[in-house]
Amino acid sequence: MAEPGPLLGRGRDADVYDLGPGRVLRRYRDPGASAEREAAVMVHARAHGLPVPEVFDVDGPDLVMARVEGPTMLAAVLRRPWTITRQATVLAELHRAVHAVPAPDLLDRRTGPGDALLHLDLHPENVLLTPSGPVIIDWTNAARGTAEVDVADAWLVMSAARVPGPAVVAAAVRAAQGVFPRQFRRAAGLDLAAALPTAAARRLADRNLGEQERRRIRRLAGLPLSARPGSPEPS
Ligand SMILES: Nc1ncnc2c1ncn2[C@@H]1O[C@H](COP(=O)(O)OP(=O)(O)O)[C@@H](O)[C@H]1O
Ligand SMILES: [Mg+2]
């Protein structure tokens, strides 16, 4: 695989490098990880008309795809807070478009009944805004299931997360965090009651989740505040 150029983005499990004209390399830091499944899901999603970067090559932990030019939806909303309602509606429309696609056969991971394609990390940091429209990235968590679980997942993440950053933007982020998830949930128009505990359980299985976030997710999903009812939250 080609030698990577400058680092463009750094996430929890992968780094994204510039690969020259129109291409980026997304490389898992675990050299034993495979991006094959993720690449296949992206190809499937694109073939069904979803706005997803074109995949050029996949090799073990390396995935080469089209470079998308544009800020994340989160960056765009922080820069132009007056677009918040519109962007939350766009995100809900992206969810709807994803869930209209049948899950590919290779997706045997299930989150309850249903056979829709789910992204399961479809929040404003995984949408890049280009002049020709929004593009969905970061398909690591894709699964098969019901739309409600995906919408519930995004709603929980957006409502519970504390976006790190300088104090000057903290106030803007807090203000946005009240409005954005509410508008997103309204625009999605689904009844999330049954899906929230499922979505929360998935998120809570993540060992890296901070204690505060854990508590917020439990509260938002209406779960008991400690893992075992009656026992104190471990510190
Ligand atoms: N196809 C792409 N084109 C341009 N930038 C990208 C592309 N894919 C990812 N990036 C950049 O890398 C960052 C992290 O990518 P992402 O796939 O969301 O991985 P993770 O969140 O796991 O780190 C994105 O926020 C974006 O800045
Ligand atoms: Mg991401």
Segment 10-50, tens digit of pLDDT: 988 999 999 989 999 999 999 999 999 999 999 999 999 99
Let me know: does 75 contact 165? Beta carbons within 8 Å.
no
Q: What is the mean pLDDT of the chain?
A: 91
Closest ligand by atom to 26 CA: 1
CATH no. for residue 15?
3.30.200.20
Would you state the pLDDT for residue 164? Answer: 66
Whether residue 156 is contained in a domain is answered as yes
Please state whether beta strands 143-145 and 110-111 pair in parallel, antiparallel, or not at all (unpaired). parallel
In sequence order, which residues have a C-beta less than 8 Å from that of residue 223 and are 6 or more positions away? Answer: 197, 200, 217
Structure-block tokens of residue 21: 């004209």
Across 188-215, average pLDDT: 94
Let me know: does 64 contact 57? Beta carbons within 8 Å.
yes
For residue 145, the Cα-to-chain-centroid distance in whole angstroms is 16
* CB of 67 shorter than 6 A to ligand 1: yes
pLDDT more than 90, % of the chain: 77
Whether residue 175 is contained in a domain is answered as yes
CA-to-CA dists, residue 193 to 88, 129, 221, 223, 228, angstroms: 20, 31, 8, 12, 21
Same structural domain for residues 14 and 110? no
The protein residue with its alpha carbon nearest to ligand 1, atom 1, reads 67
* CB of 14 shorter than 6 A to ligand 1: yes
Neighbours of 222 (CB within 10 A): 10
Integer Cα distance of 79 and 88 in angstroms: 15
Let me know: does 122 contact 116? Beta carbons within 8 Å.
no
Distance 76 CA to ligand 2 centre (A): 15
Distance 122 CA to ligand 2 centre (A): 9
Of all atoms in ligand 1, which is nearest to the CA of residue 137?
17
Same structural domain for residues 42 and 87? no
* CB of 13 shorter than 6 A to ligand 1: yes
Taking the CA atoms of residue 99, residue 116, residue 9 and residue 18 in that order, the dihedral angle to the nearest 10 degrees is -90
Q: Which domain holds residue 173?
A: 73-221
Residue 74, classed as helix, strand or coil, is helix
Of all atoms in ligand 1, which is nearest to the CA of residue 126?
18
Let me know: does 136 contact 98? Beta carbons within 8 Å.
yes
* CB of 26 shorter than 6 A to ligand 1: yes
- Asked whether the predicted pLDDT for residue 192 surpasses 70, the reply is yes
DSSP 143-206: EEE-HHHHHHHHHHHHHH------HHHHHHHHHHHHHHHHHHHHHHT---TTHHHHHHHHHHT-
Same structural domain for residues 207 and 146? yes
Whether residue 107 is contained in a domain is answered as yes
* CB of 68 shorter than 6 A to ligand 1: yes
Last residue of a domain, one of 42, 66, 90: 66
Whether residue 192 is contained in a domain is answered as yes
| Count of the separate structural domains present in the chain | 2
pLDDT tens digits along 54-84 = 999 999 999 999 999 999 999 999 899 899 9
Whether residue 235 is contained in a domain is answered as no
Same structural domain for residues 107 and 203? yes
pLDDT tens digits along 99-133 = 999 999 999 878 878 999 999 999 999 999 999 99
Same structural domain for residues 25 and 50? yes
Q: Is the sign of the CA dihedral 97, 102, 104, 110 positive or negative?
A: positive
The protein residue with its alpha carbon nearest to ligand 1, atom 23, reads 11
Would you state the pLDDT for residue 96? Answer: 98
Whether residue 189 is contained in a domain is answered as yes
pTM: predicted TM-score of the whole model, two decimal places: 0.92
**Residues in the chain, total:** 235
